[in-house]
């Protein structure tokens, strides 16, 4: 074998050896990655309290006289993890003429509350953030001056019911959710339909 062929053969063997070494090394340059994403499900959890009713109003309401006002202050706290819209219904006794007042003003509601004549609910007009509490819906109930004698034993129930629904998802943008009016909040409660983007 001549010298040129020897050199060429040795060069080819060396090149093949190099490729074999690189090939076997490349087999170790692999990668794998895995991620576990944990999600939690939010919740809406409200508590209805009437602190002044419990402290004094309940006792004052026994044997009420015409024109008397007693403390009654329905207040809602969001104990859940998610911001919510809140509404309250008040079922007044049919045989007794009662009204509400706030700050000694008849038919006045607390801050950020509005009455919706369409469905008969009182709506909190702001998003109630997690951990937040509404202003009282009203702070007193008043027995009409036109009330006639009772028997001092018959009880008349005032049923207050609070409801909440998540605020997230009520509109395409959060800034839009924060500016929803009472009619839109009522619609979200009833239909849970999304308000179109940009409206």
Sign of CA pseudo-dihedral 50, 128, 89, 103: positive
Q: Can you give the pTM of this predicted structure?
A: 0.77
Q: Considering the chain, what percentage of its residues have pLDDT values greater than 90? A: 60
The closest of 118, 133, 104 to 182, measured between CA atoms, is 118
Render the burial of 105-133: b for 16+ CB within 10 Å, e for the rest: eeeebbeebebeeeeebbbbebbbeeeee
Q: Is the pLDDT of residue 33 over 90?
A: no
Structure tokens at 137: 């819906």
Tens-digit pLDDT profile for residues 168-196: 999 999 999 999 999 999 999 998 745 55
Domain ranges of the chain: 46-191
């Amino acid at each position: 074998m001549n010298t040129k062929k020897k050199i060429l053969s040795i060069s080819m063997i060396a090149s093949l050896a190099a490729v074999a070494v690189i090939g076997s090394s490349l087999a170790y340059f692999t990668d794998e990655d895995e991620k576990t994403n944990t999600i939690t499900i939010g919740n809406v959890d409200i508590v209805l309290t009437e602190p002044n009713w419990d402290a004094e109003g309940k006792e004052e309401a026994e044997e009420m006289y015409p024109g008397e006002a007693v403390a009654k202050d329905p207040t809602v706290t969001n104990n859940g993890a998610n911001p919510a819209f809140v509404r309250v219904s008040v079922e007044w006794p049919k045989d007794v003429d009662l009204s509400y007042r706030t700050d000694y003003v008849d038919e006045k509601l607390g801050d950020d509350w509005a009455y919706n004549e369409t469905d008969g609910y009182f709506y909190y007009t702001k998003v109630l953030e997690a951990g937040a509490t509404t202003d009282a819906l009203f702070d007193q109930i008043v027995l009409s001056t036109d009330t006639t004698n009772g028997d001092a034993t018959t009880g008349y129930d005032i049923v207050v019911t609070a409801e909440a629904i998540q605020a997230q998802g009520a509109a395409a943008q959060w800034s839009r959710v924060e500016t929803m009016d009472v009619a839109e909040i009522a619609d979200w409660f009833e239909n849970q339909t999304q308000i179109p983007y940009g409206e």
